């Protein structure tokens, strides 16, 4: 026999050999390949990461746009301080005359010399007046008219004095002590700053009311002084001296800041946000609420949706071997008469309430590091089981079962180390974590879970 | 509702769709690919190994290379051909790891020539022939399979196995003769030269 013929005969025999194998052989090979890292992580792909990053970028962009629109209004809110705070000394700021808009006239004694009976302030604090009114002889009635006519946002308001001025009843003049005793009222002087900010002043006009005397001239003098905010004779009220006082928090760069806003570490501030997480067990997305407590502590709570990695089983035997605790009893009943099914896939979805408490360490340039301990409470579990029938089966080729599983509320611990960067009202957080199981549950893998979370928080302005 | 949909869907019996889904990272498709080609890869691996254990090792390594390099696979060429070349190369790598250079180069005593009846091959099953091939020494088995089954030239075999062309030719000749002897005498022909000498003495 020729060598070529011999080779060909051997080749034909061996090429026609169909190697027999079982599902156990496949399982064994697949397990070995998975251990050697041949397969990509279940439920994760590069395209998924790309979409998630794009979605996060869109989210940040929307927040940024909203923030820009909000900032463009430039409205500072400062609640009117209650009367009890009047006696609390606040920051005193003197507004130079040259920073004020044109319509604000610096009242100089030589420019608008009043008629007799009216003393002009020597302080450069300005008051809004119509030009034509400056040369008027200011009687008590004139003052009332001036106040009434200048009743607008940037005008001087005298809430309590106006009625007294407008109706300078003789009995009131005769009984000034009535006013002094009963009228602890508030003067508010609103002066426009160069940036258009409103600054409110508080004045203890109880002392002002005391000087309202029966003397009309002195009454007018004191009233005018109260309007102008300048010190009347014998009046020790610093506010009346024209010093602008600010109610509430600090005045920083002309802006009225909220009590809770001071960098990233003021206790009581709230953070609202959300983000994504990628873990060995699956992927998730959710919303979070963070509350900053005293002593750099942060309390976090949220709501998260998690898609766990698929569980794959070659056949019913493999599925039964895995489900030794018969925990999947809701599926066991449905699979009772399906002994020959193959390619069983279980997909689990979780609804979780993550809770954690952390300690934040501020770093430079707006960065901070937070170490947190917490847990993910599993509040809802939904499972979907799909399988296929053997080719010779008379049943439909594919099956699809869905059921709610019994979620175990408290089963793990989460240890997180976050790096955060604060920028204006946003906080960007990158949080690698490990998640050991404190209690094994049938819908989560036994191995130590770990991953990374990306979150964006927004600090609402108050 | 699933927030993140699974990767590309596929038809388990359609190799092209399974491969496409594997490239997208579909874990189920990756398993389906193993199922589709397990038998094919194993049949190739068995020709290059002395038994099932060695063949499984070659099969595992081959699939690992397939999944690791799936992105390099050119859709224009048949997947089976690409898979086959990976498996053969994996078997060669295993041979080179296990077999010392000296053993590859050591000339074995030539088998005595016999008159071979070609009907013998016809009467043997594929499994029996496979067993006979597996019973050859690693060097003979490798050279014979690469030449007679895979169609490599002696020059290519020499490069792959790290031997000379002359050694490849002599090993091929001897491999054929030993196979014929085994087929004729039902695997009574010993493999080593010492045993061959003793057998001849006994026959004489």
Read off the pLDDT of residues B151-167 as tens digits, 9 standing for 90 and up: 999 999 999 988 899 99
C-alpha closest to that of A106 among A90, A94, A118: A94
Mutate to test the interface with A, among B23, B32, B36, B43 (most CBs of A within 10 A): B43
Mutate to test the interface with A, among B13, B23, B30, B61 (most CBs of A within 10 A): B30
Residue A186: strand, helix, or coil: strand
Q: Give first-to-last CA distance, chain B, whole Å.
A: 82
**Cβ–Cβ < 8 Å for B189, B181:** yes
d(CA A272, CA A426): 9
Question: What pLDDT, on a 0 to 100 scale, did the predictor assign at position A322?
Answer: 65
d(CA A357, CA A373): 6
Q: For residue B145, name the pLDDT band (cuts at 50, 70, 90).
A: very high
Question: What pLDDT, on a 0 to 100 scale, did the predictor assign at position A234?
Answer: 43
Q: Say how many C-beta atoms besides its own lie within 10 A of residue A223's C-beta.
A: 29
d(CA A33, CA B61): 9
DSSP A300-338: EEEEEEEEEPPEEEEEHHHHHHH-TT-TTHHHHTTTTT-
Given a cut of 70, the residues of chain A with pLDDT beneath it are: 40-268, 321-339, 392-395, 462
How much is the mean pLDDT over chain B?
Answer: 81
**Cβ–Cβ < 8 Å for A148, A166:** yes
Q: Which contiguous run of DSSP H or E holds residue A51?
A: helix A46-73
Burial (0-12, 13-18, 19+ Cβ within 10 Å), A339: exposed
A10 vs B contacts (CB less than 8 Å): 121, 129, 133, 148-149, 179
Tens of pLDDT, residues A268-299: 588 999 999 999 999 999 999 999 888 889 99
C-beta atoms of B121 and A3 within 8 A: no
C-beta atoms of A7 and B148 within 8 A: yes
Nearest residue on chain B to A14, judged by CA atoms?
B126
**% of chain B surpassing 70 pLDDT:** 77
Long-range contacts (CB closer than 8 Å, 24 or more residues apart) made by A286-295? A286/A352, A286/A354, A288/A354, A288/A455, A288/A457, A290/A457, A292/A265, A292/A266, A292/A267, A292/A268, A292/A360, A293/A267, A293/A268, A294/A267, A295/A267
C-beta atoms of B34 and A30 within 8 A: yes
- B199 vs A: CB within 8 A: no
A14 vs B contacts (CB less than 8 Å): 43, 47, 126, 129-130, 133, 149
Closest to A13 (Cβ–Cβ): which among B31, B67, B129?
B129
Alpha carbon A275 to its chain centroid, in Å, reads 13
- B112 vs A: CB within 8 A: no
Phi, psi of A101 (to 5 degrees): -65, 170
Closest to A29 (Cβ–Cβ): which among B63, B116, B180?
B63
C-alpha closest to that of B85 among B103, B62, B105: B62
DSSP letter for A258, please.
P
Mutate to test the interface with B, among A21, A24, A39 (most CBs of B within 10 A): A39
d(CA A375, CA A414): 5
Mutate to test the interface with B, among A15, A29, A305, A352 (most CBs of B within 10 A): A29
pLDDT at B83 over 90: yes
pLDDT at B90 over 60: yes
pTM (2 d.p.): 0.41
Q: Pseudo-torsion of CA B136, B140, B143, B146, nearest 10°?
A: 0
Question: What pLDDT, on a 0 to 100 scale, did the predictor assign at position A460?
Answer: 85
C-alpha closest to that of A154 among A213, A94, A103, A207: A103
Closest to B31 (Cβ–Cβ): which among A6, A43, A312?
A312
Question: What pLDDT, on a 0 to 100 scale, did the predictor assign at position B97?
Answer: 81
Question: What pLDDT, on a 0 to 100 scale, did the predictor assign at position A41?
Answer: 53
- B179 vs A: CB within 8 A: yes
- B34 vs A: CB within 8 A: yes
pLDDT at B99 over 60: yes
C-beta atoms of B38 and A21 within 8 A: yes
Nearest residue on chain A to B132, judged by CA atoms?
A10
Question: What pLDDT, on a 0 to 100 scale, did the predictor assign at position A100?
Answer: 47
Give the A-side interface with B, CB within 8 Å: 1, 3, 5-7, 9-11, 13-21, 25-26, 29-30, 32-33, 36, 38-40, 42-48, 283, 285, 305, 307, 310, 312, 343, 345, 347, 349, 388
A32 vs B contacts (CB less than 8 Å): 60
d(CA A107, CA A229): 12
């Amino acid at each position: 026999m020729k060598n070529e013929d011999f080779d060909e005969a051997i080749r034909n025999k061996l090429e026609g050999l169909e190697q027999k194998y079982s599902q156990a052989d496949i399982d064994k090979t697949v397990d070995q390949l998975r251990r050697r890292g041949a397969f990509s992580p279940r439920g994760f792909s590069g395209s998924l990461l790309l979409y998630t990053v794009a979605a996060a970028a869109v989210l940040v962009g929307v927040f940024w746009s909203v923030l820009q629109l909000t900032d463009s209004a430039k409205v500072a809110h400062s609640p009117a301080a209650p009367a009890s705070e009047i006696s609390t000394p606040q920051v005193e700021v003197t507004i130079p005359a040259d920073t004020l808009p044109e319509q604000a006239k610096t009242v100089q004694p030589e420019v608008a010399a009043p008629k007799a009976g009216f003393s002009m302030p020597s302080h450069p604090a300005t008051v809004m007046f119509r030009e034509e009114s400056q040369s008027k002889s200011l009687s008590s009635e004139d003052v009332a008219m001036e106040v009434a006519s200048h009743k607008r946002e940037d005008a001087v308001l005298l809430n309590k004095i106006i009625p007294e001025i407008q109706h300078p009843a003789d009995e009131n003049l005769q009984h000034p002590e009535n006013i002094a005793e009963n009228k602890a009222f508030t003067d508010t002087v609103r002066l426009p700053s160069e940036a258009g900010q409103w600054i409110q002043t508080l004045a203890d006009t109880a002392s002002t009311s005391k000087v309202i005397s029966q003397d009309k001239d002195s009454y007018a003098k004191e009233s005018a002084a109260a309007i102008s905010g300048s010190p009347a004779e014998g009046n020790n009220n610093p506010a009346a001296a024209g010093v602008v006082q600010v109610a509430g928090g600090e005045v920083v760069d002309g802006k009225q800041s909220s009590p809770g806003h001071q960098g990233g570490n003021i206790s009581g501030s709230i953070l609202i946000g959300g983000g994504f997480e990628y873990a060995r067990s699956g992927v998730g997305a959710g919303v979070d609420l963070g509350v900053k407590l005293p002593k750099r502590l942060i309390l976090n709570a949220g709501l998260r949706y998690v898609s766990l990695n698929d569980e794959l089983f070659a056949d019913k035997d493999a599925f039964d071997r895995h489900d030794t605790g018969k925990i999947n009893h809701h599926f066991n009943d449905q699979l009772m008469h399906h002994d020959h099914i193959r390619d069983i896939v279980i997909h689990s979805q979780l609804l979780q309430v993550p809770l954690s408490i952390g300690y934040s360490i501020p770093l430079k340039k707006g960065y901070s590091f937070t170490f947190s301990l917490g847990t993910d409470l599993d509040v809802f579990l939904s499972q979907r089981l799909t399988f296929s029938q053997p080719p010779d089966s008379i049943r439909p080729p594919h099956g699809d079962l869905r059921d709610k599983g019994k979620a175990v509320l408290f089963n793990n611990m989460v240890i997180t180390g976050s790096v955060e960067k604060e920028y204006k009202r946003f906080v960007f957080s990158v949080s690698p974590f490990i998640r050991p199981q404190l209690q094994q549950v049938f819908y989560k893998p036994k191995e130590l879970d770990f991953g990374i979370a990306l979150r964006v928080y927004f600090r609402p302005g108050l | 509702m699933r927030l993140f949909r699974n990767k590309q869907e596929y038809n388990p019996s359609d190799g092209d769709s399974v491969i496409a889904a594997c490239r997208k990272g579909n874990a189920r498709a990756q398993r389906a690919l193993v199922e589709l080609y397990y038998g094919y890869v194993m049949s190739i691996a068995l020709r290059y190994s002395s038994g099932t254990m060695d063949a499984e090792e070659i099969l595992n390594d081959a699939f690992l290379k397939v999944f690791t390099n799936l992105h390099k696979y050119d859709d224009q060429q048949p997947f089976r051909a690409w898979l086959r070349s990976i498996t053969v190369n994996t078997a060669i790598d295993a041979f080179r790891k296990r077999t010392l250079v000296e053993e590859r180069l050591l000339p074995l005593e030539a088998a005595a020539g016999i008159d071979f009846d070609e009907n013998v091959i016809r009467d043997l099953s594929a499994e029996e022939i496979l067993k006979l091939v597996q019973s050859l020494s690693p060097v003979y088995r490798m050279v014979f399979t690469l030449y007679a089954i895979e169609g490599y030239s002696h020059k290519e075999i020499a490069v792959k196995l790290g031997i000379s062309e002359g050694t490849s030719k002599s090993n091929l000749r001897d491999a054929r003769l030993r196979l014929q002897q085994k087929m004729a005498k039902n695997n009574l022909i010993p493999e080593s030269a010492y045993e061959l000498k003793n057998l001849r003495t006994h026959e004489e």
